[in-house]
Amino acid sequence: MDMDEELCLCFHVTRRKVVNFIRVERPRRVGQLSECFGAGTGCGWCRPFLQKLFDQAARDGQVDAELPTPSEYARLRAAYIREGHGTPPASSSET
């Protein structure tokens, strides 16, 4: 997943926005990433990936963790939603 791909598909938050938020705002808790355009506050699918970036930044100051390709990421999220794990906001596409 490159920097201009959406990390939070519910609120269309790109990886770049999240990375910049982490670098500039230096959140102390992963939950503070929700202040980045609502990232993670929809279906919940992206939370483990937000956690991964947050943990990496806290551990070694880098925010370049490997994430799935955009198509794989979207496919896995669609399955997650179909299985009833989370409900995306009405403004979000489910695919």
Query: Closest approach of Cβ 49 to ligand FES, in Å?
Result: 8
Q: How many CB atoms lie within 10 A of CB 46?
A: 28
Nearer to ligand FES, 61 or 73 (CB): 73
Written as six digits, the tokens of 93 are 């596409």
**Residues found near ligand FES in the complex (CB under 6 A):** 8-10, 40-46, 88
Q: CA 55 to CA 52: how far, in whole Å?
A: 5
In the complex, what is the shortest distance from the CB of residue 93 to ligand FES, in angstroms, rounded to a whole number? Answer: 11
When the beta carbons of 58 and 89 are compared against ligand FES, the nearer one is: 89
Query: 11 or 57, CB closer to ligand FES?
Result: 11
Q: Of 49, 50, 39, 45, which is closest to residue 79 (Cα–Cα)? A: 45
